[in-house]
Chains A and B, each alone.
Chain A
Amino acid sequence: MSSHEHAADPDRGRIGMWLFICTEILLFGGLFLLYSVYRYKHPADFHAASLDLSRFAGTLNTIVLISSSLTAALAVHELREGRIARAKLLIGATLLCALAFLTVKGFEWGAKFEHGLYPNAPHLLSLPPGQILYFGLYFTMTGLHAVHVIVGMGVFGYGLREMSRGKVTLKNPILIENATLFWHLIDIIWIFLFPLFYLIS
């Protein structure tokens, strides 16, 4: 059986993607559990540390990522209607949003580094234990999320190329459909990361 026959079965490809999404949910679920236990044990430290994050940047990135989810969903819609050019445009818009998200994230991390807040930094280690845990979780979880954003961008970039070459069509949309499912998962993870790290009252 050639790889083309695999790609031509939409159900099989979709089920595989959903299984992968489940493993991703469990991966981040474990980290969220870790977060919740430490937050339960150090509520005051978590609150104090969260004040160092910019609520504005977090909210902005939430809107950017939700918008990218919308353009990705619309891209699949256009693809299913057979309008490839429009679908490509919408995937391009999704990629721009992703880039904007990473840029904001980059500035946020940069500001943290300048204030001596990075893993194993002398200043960070002088803080109370709960705050060290908070920043450890912050860098791990938003970092892992950012890795997913970068991978998603790579898959979309590949998808754009395959669309241009006529490999992704109305008859064979699974690559873009699955890339988009992955993208929505990234959005869902951020939907939880944002309030848990930026909005501790």
Chain B
Amino acid sequence: MSDTTSERKPGYKTYFAVYAALVCLTAITVTTASLNIGRLAIFAVLAIAGTKSVLVLLYFMHLRYEKRLLVKILIPIVVATLAVFIGLTYTDILYR
């Protein structure tokens, strides 16, 4: 079964490394929010959340080891769709 999902299986080491990274990034987000860096903070916070999501998708959800092209491209397609929604909404809000 796992042959279809993965070529090289990640082990405990990989999972714990990802976990440690996720905890560190959480700590960084909380600290960033307490600093007063104004409007920049929202972008910093979103960038960190994005990084954490990519880590979960690639390692915990095994997208990095995925062989089926269809599964590989689904998330980029959804993210691109959302980006279009968000982009169009904001062109409406900002330039109305």
**Chain A interface (Cβ within 8 Å of chain B)?**
10-11, 14-15, 18-19, 21-22, 25-26, 29-30, 33, 36-37, 40, 55, 59, 62-63, 66-67, 69-70, 72-74, 77, 80, 170-174, 177, 181, 184, 187-188, 191-192, 194-196, 199-201
Contacts and interface: CB of A to CB of B under 8 A. Distances in A.
B-side interface size class: 35 or more
A199 B56 contact: no
A51 to B, nearest CB: 12
26 contacts: A10-B5, A21-B74, A22-B75, A26-B82, A30-B85, A36-B86, A40-B93, A55-B30, A63-B26, A66-B19, A66-B22, A70-B18, A73-B60, A77-B10, A77-B11, A80-B2, A174-B1, A184-B57, A187-B56, A187-B60, A188-B56, A191-B56, A195-B46, A199-B30, A201-B35, A201-B41
Contacts of A174: 1
B19 A15 contact: no
B52 A191 contact: yes
B15 A77 contact: yes
A200 to B, nearest CB: 8
A168 to B, nearest CB: 11
A19 B5 CA distance: 16
Given A11-B68, A25-B78, A36-B86, 16 more contacts: A15-B68, A15-B70, A19-B74, A22-B74, A26-B81, A33-B86, A59-B26, A66-B23, A70-B60, A72-B60, A172-B1, A184-B60, A191-B52, A192-B49, A195-B48, A201-B34
Contacts of B1: 10, 80, 170-174
B4 A11 contact: yes
Contacts of A72: 60
Given A18-B74, A191-B49, A191-B53, A184 B61 contact: yes
B15 A66 contact: no
Q: With a 10 A CB-CB cut-off, give which of A15, A21, A201 has the most chain B CB atoms.
A: A201
Most B-side CB within 10 Å, residue of A59, A77, A80, A191: A191
Contacts of B15: 70, 73-74, 77
B53 to A, nearest CB: 5
B61 A181 contact: yes
Nearest to B51: A191
